[in-house]
């Protein structure tokens, strides 16, 4: 028997026999797990580095039976499978094979797609077995997470396993904020270590490394947060001393910041930690802190409920109360969030608290440095009227003012004033909680008790509801302000009113897409020129928002300035194109446009039109026929030469020029069909009115598009109609 090679190689050894170079070329640097086993004892003849890392905990010993190097394989039936392949000479493949590896402290589960193949000598006899495996642990975990997500909604209201609840919460946060990576660690029963709870986006090696970390000062963010019982914000792991012992691990995992908050139970004791990681150094803002605090509370509720069920302390009653609380908060916050306006959100909140939390409710806000009661709610209209009266509200105004000043909740009893709340409504006590967002208190929710006291349970629900309602109200305020700003800015990019053009009537409309939160890219304009001439145009800027507004302004101002200096429409369009190409730095900024100049003759209106990549203009003649002006032309802003040439159009009395943007022609029906230029022409031609005005034609277009698209406006829509008189 040949001598055994050195069992304690300091590096991955050269492979034995004549196959060494072949094995090295194939598997030396590959992540594939490979091992060559020799003889009936399955002596480890050669292996890839990945094999030693995965199965041998980094030990690079060769020349001994593989069962001796990795005892776990025997306990899990792997050696029996290798024996069978060696005896029978048949290949065996196992997809998703489950392995439990590592010692007691480093125990880990991994999954592999693994193939065992017999190796034959020169005469065809089996002299060994080769094992090739690809780790599928990440794939397996991804499948489990996907399955858990499908059932999370139906399980969260009942006693679902804690891991499922925490993972569902983590996924919800990460879907809301893709740059965040969430981790929850749970306090070990020994009270001195933290165990992995959930972290669906952290790599397995990282979770395995921190599973079981000790609680102590300087043990990363989580170990320190649990030790100090206070939030620990590490905005740059590479430089923070708390991460000195884990810096390399964090670098391998690709995380650069970690904010950890202790999860506290109702009795104040630490239950675990809730952490948010980032790929780049970053400090949290107010929204991040609020998000962390909200989900820390939910995690605490889930952990405490889990412990209560395990311990068996009043499990059924506790679960029922938790479900009702969660359902109330979720349903109430959802109903409040559906309100589009600030005042509606707060009024909805007041009505949802009665009678669920208290028989009476009032909501106050700060407006222009004054406290204003914005909503009241009671079981009857009569009680609401009494609660809203200035005489009775004086008793709670002082409490509200204190809460608004301090930003903290207050509870207490109402005095027995003969003409006060106690006498008229039977009020005995109150709970007043702040409404705050981004660290600013802007209002207060006050609950008034009559028949039963408002306990800590009601106070907690009121605080949670107030937090969620405050966020929804703030979003509604921002929504309203943003929509108003967009409308104001959009109005500034359109003529305040159409001018009176001699010999013609004008009509125009503009409808923004969606909620109107962004400035659209559609525009039109009509303005006078010298020598009794008029300029008119309609266009569509690519994109929306500030960029579209800036580009629209460039087009309108360039057109107005150039048209007063240049008599040639083509020269005006060339000037507009030059302005667009000059200001476009590194970004596409193109515009479709129809620009025309109108002059009067003795018998008709004469127009010179230039079409630059825009929807073709239509001319409706007095007899109802519709003509398309399909003059070719390139979009503006994509090259130095727009290659535009004018097209002459004569409009006689009752003839009309119709200009639209692609929001009209590309409006879609519920089945996805486009409205199209043909339907637009049909709508214009179908009018039976003799000599329809510009306004009538505009109305016919709007009606036809609305009927076709069922009010589903996915793009801005602009229309400009000129009718010769």
User: Residue 433 in contact with residue 470, Cβ under 8 Å?
Assistant: no
Task: Please give the Cα distance from 527 to 591 (Å, whole number).
Answer: 20
Task: Please give the Cα distance from 609 to 618 (Å, whole number).
Answer: 12
Query: What does the pLDDT average to over 662-689?
Result: 90
**Would you say residue 3 has pLDDT above 50?**
no
User: Residue 294 in contact with residue 273, Cβ under 8 Å?
Assistant: no
Per-residue pLDDT band for 581 (boundaries 50, 70, 90) equals confident
Task: Please give the Cα distance from 12 to 463 (Å, whole number).
Answer: 61
Per-residue pLDDT band for 149 (boundaries 50, 70, 90) equals very low
Strands 126-135 and 108-120: antiparallel
- Largest Cα–Cα distance in the chain? 118
Range from 2-11, 546-555, 609-618, 621-630 carrying the lowest mean pLDDT? 2-11
Query: What does the pLDDT average to over 25-44?
Result: 80
Contacts of 161 (CB under 8 A, 6+ apart): 306
Range from 236-240, 255-259, 287-291 carrying the lowest mean pLDDT? 287-291
Q: Higher-confidence residue: 155 or 131?
A: 131
Per-residue pLDDT, 704:
92
User: Residue 152 in contact with residue 168, Cβ under 8 Å?
Assistant: yes
**Would you say residue 128 has pLDDT above 70?**
yes
User: What digits encode the pLDDT tens for the residues 284-309?
Assistant: 988 788 778 878 888 888 888 788 77
- Residue 32's nearest CA partner among 46, 20, 48 is 48
Q: Which helix (H) or strand (E) holds 707?
A: helix 694-709
Task: Please give the Cα distance from 539 to 430 (Å, whole number).
Answer: 60
Query: What does the pLDDT average to over 9-36?
Result: 55
User: What digits encode the pLDDT tens for the residues 415-458?
Assistant: 655 556 666 677 888 899 999 998 899 999 999 888 778 888 88
Residue 514 backbone class (left: φ over 0; alpha: ψ -120 to 50; beta: rest): left
Phi, psi of 368 (to 5 degrees): 55, 45
User: What digits encode the pLDDT tens for the residues 348-368?
Assistant: 999 999 988 989 999 999 988
Q: Supply the mean pLDDT for the chain.
A: 85
**DSSP states of 200-226 as a string?**
TTS-HHHHHHHTTEEP-TTSHHHHHHH
Domains of the chain: 17-135 (3.30.450.20), 146-313 (3.30.450.40), 344-485 (3.30.450.40), 493-724 (3.60.40.10)
Task: Please give the Cα distance from 135 to 204 (Å, whole number).
Answer: 12
**Would you say residue 21 has pLDDT above 60?**
no
Task: Please give the Cα distance from 254 to 231 (Å, whole number).
Answer: 22
Q: Which helix (H) or strand (E) holds 290?
A: helix 286-311
Query: What does the pLDDT average to over 323-330?
Result: 86
**Would you say residue 138 has pLDDT above 80?**
no
The residue ranges of DSSP E strands in 603-688, in sequence order, are 605-612, 618-620, 626-628, 647-651, 656-660
User: What digits encode the pLDDT tens for the residues 587-638?
Assistant: 667 899 999 999 999 999 999 999 999 999 999 999 999 999 988 888 998 8
Range from 352-361, 484-493, 714-723 carrying the lowest mean pLDDT? 484-493
Phi, psi of 149 (to 5 degrees): -65, -35
User: What digits encode the pLDDT tens for the residues 60-83?
Assistant: 888 999 999 988 888 888 999 999
**Would you say residue 677 has pLDDT above 80?**
yes
Range from 29-38, 156-165, 170-179, 449-458 carrying the lowest mean pLDDT? 156-165
Q: Which helix (H) or strand (E) holds 271?
A: strand 270-278
Task: Please give the Cα distance from 441 to 371 (Å, whole number).
Answer: 12
Per-residue pLDDT, 104:
62
Per-residue pLDDT, 385:
81
The proportion of the chain whose per-residue pLDDT surpasses 70, expressed as a percent, equals 86
Q: Higher-confidence residue: 205 or 455?
A: 205
Per-residue pLDDT band for 397 (boundaries 50, 70, 90) equals confident
Query: What does the pLDDT average to over 667-689?
Result: 89
Q: Higher-confidence residue: 519 or 195?
A: 195
* Spacing of C-alpha 113 from chain mean position: 35
* SS3 letters across 468-479: HHHHHHHHHHHH
Cβ neighbours, 10 Å, residue 544: 20
Residue 528's alpha-carbon distances to 48, 398, 566, 598, 599, in angstroms, are 82, 62, 13, 9, 10
**Would you say residue 322 has pLDDT above 80?**
no
Q: Which residue has the tokens 């949802």?
A: 352
- The strand pairing partners of 181, in sequence order, are 277
Task: Please give the Cα distance from 375 to 378 (Å, whole number).
Answer: 11
**Would you say residue 15 has pLDDT above 90?**
no
């Amino acid at each position: 028997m040949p001598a055994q090679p050195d069992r304690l190689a300091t590096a991955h050894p050269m492979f034995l026999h004549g196959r060494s170079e072949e094995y090295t070329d194939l598997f030396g640097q590959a992540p594939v797990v490979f091992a060559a086993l020799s003889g009936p004892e399955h002596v480890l003849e050669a292996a890839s580095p990945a094999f030693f890392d995965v199965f041998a905990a980094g030990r690079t010993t060769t020349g001994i039976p593989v069962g001796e190097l990795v005892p776990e394989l025997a306990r899990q039936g792997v050696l029996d499978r290798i024996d069978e392949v060696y005896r029978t000479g048949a290949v065996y493949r196992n997809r998703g094979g489950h392995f439990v590896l590592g010692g007691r402290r480093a125990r880990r589960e991994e999954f592999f797609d693994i193939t065992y193949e017999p190796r034959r000598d020169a005469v065809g006899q089996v002299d060994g077995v080769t094992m090739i495996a690809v780790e599928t642990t990440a794939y397996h975990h991804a499948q489990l997470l996907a399955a858990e997500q499908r059932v999370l909604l139906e399980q969260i209201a009942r006693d679902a396993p804690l891991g499922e609840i925490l993972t569902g919460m983590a996924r919800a946060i990460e879907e809301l904020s893709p740059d965040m990576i969430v981790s929850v660690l749970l306090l070990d029963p020994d009270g001195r270590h933290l165990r992995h709870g959930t972290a669906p986006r952290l790599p397995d090696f990282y979770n395995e490394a921190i599973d079981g970390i000790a609680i102590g000062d300087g043990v990363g963010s989580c170990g320190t947060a649990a030790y100090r019982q206070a939030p620990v914000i590490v905005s740059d792991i590479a430089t923070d001393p708390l991460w000195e012992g884990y810096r390399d691990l964090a670098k391998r995992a690709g995380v650069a910041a970690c904010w950890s908050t202790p999860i506290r139970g109702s009795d104040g004791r630490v239950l675990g930690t809730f952490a948010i990681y980032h790929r780049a150094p970053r400090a949290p803002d107010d929204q991040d802190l609020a998000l962390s605090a909200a989900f820390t509370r939910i995690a605490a509720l889930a952990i405490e409920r889990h412990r209560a069920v395990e311990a068996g302390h009043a499990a059924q009653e506790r679960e029922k109360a938790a479900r009702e609380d969660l359902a109330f908060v979720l349903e109430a916050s959802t109903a409040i969030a559906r309100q589009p306006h600030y005042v509606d959100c707060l009024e909805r909140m007041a009505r949802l608290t009665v009678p669920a939390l208290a028989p009476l409710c009032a909501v106050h806000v700060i407006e222009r440095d004054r406290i204003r009661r914005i909503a009241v709610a009671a079981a009857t209209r009569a009680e609401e009227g009494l609660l809203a009266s200035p005489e009775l509200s004086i008793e709670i105004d002082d409490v509200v003012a204190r809460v608004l000043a301090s930003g903290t909740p207050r509870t207490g009893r109402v005095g027995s004033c003969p003409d006060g709340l106690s006498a008229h409504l039977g009020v005995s006590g109150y709970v007043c909680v702040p409404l705050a967002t981004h660290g600013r208190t802007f209002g207060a929710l006050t609950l008034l008790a009559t028949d039963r006291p408002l306990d800590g349970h009601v106070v907690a629900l009121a605080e949670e509801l107030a937090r969620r309602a405050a966020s929804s109200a703030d979003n509604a305020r921002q929504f309203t302000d943003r929509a108003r700003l967009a409308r104001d800015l959009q109005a500034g990019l359109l003529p305040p009113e159409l001018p009176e053009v001699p010999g013609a009537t004008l009509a125009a409309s503009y409808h923004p897409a969606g909620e109107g939160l962004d400035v659209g890219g559609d525009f039109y304009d009509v303005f006078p020129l010298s020598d009794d001439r008029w300029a008119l145009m309609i266009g569509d800027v690519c994109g929306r928002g500030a960029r579209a507004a800036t580009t629209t302004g460039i087009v309108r101002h360039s057109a107005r300035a150039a048209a007063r200096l240049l008599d040639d429409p083509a020269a005006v369009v060339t000037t507009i194109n030059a302005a667009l190409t000059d200001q476009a730095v590194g970004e596409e900024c193109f515009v479709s446009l129809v620009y025309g100049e109108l002059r009067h003759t003795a018998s008709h209106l004469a127009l010179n039109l230039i079409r630059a990549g825009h929807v073709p203009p239509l001319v409706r003649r007095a007899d109802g026929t519709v003509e398309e002006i399909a003059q070719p032309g390139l979009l503006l802003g994509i090259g130095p030469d727009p290659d535009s040439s004018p097209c002459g159009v004569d409009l006689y009395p009752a003839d009309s020029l119709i200009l639209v943007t692609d929001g009209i022609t590309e409006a879609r029906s519920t089945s996805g069909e486009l409205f199209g230029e043909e339907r637009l022409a049909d709508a214009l031609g179908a009018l039976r009115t003799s000599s329809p005005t510009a306004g009538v034609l505009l109305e016919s277009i709007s009606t036809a598009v609305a009927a076709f698209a069922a009010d589903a406006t996915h793009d801005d829509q602009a229309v400009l109609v000129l009718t010769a008189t």
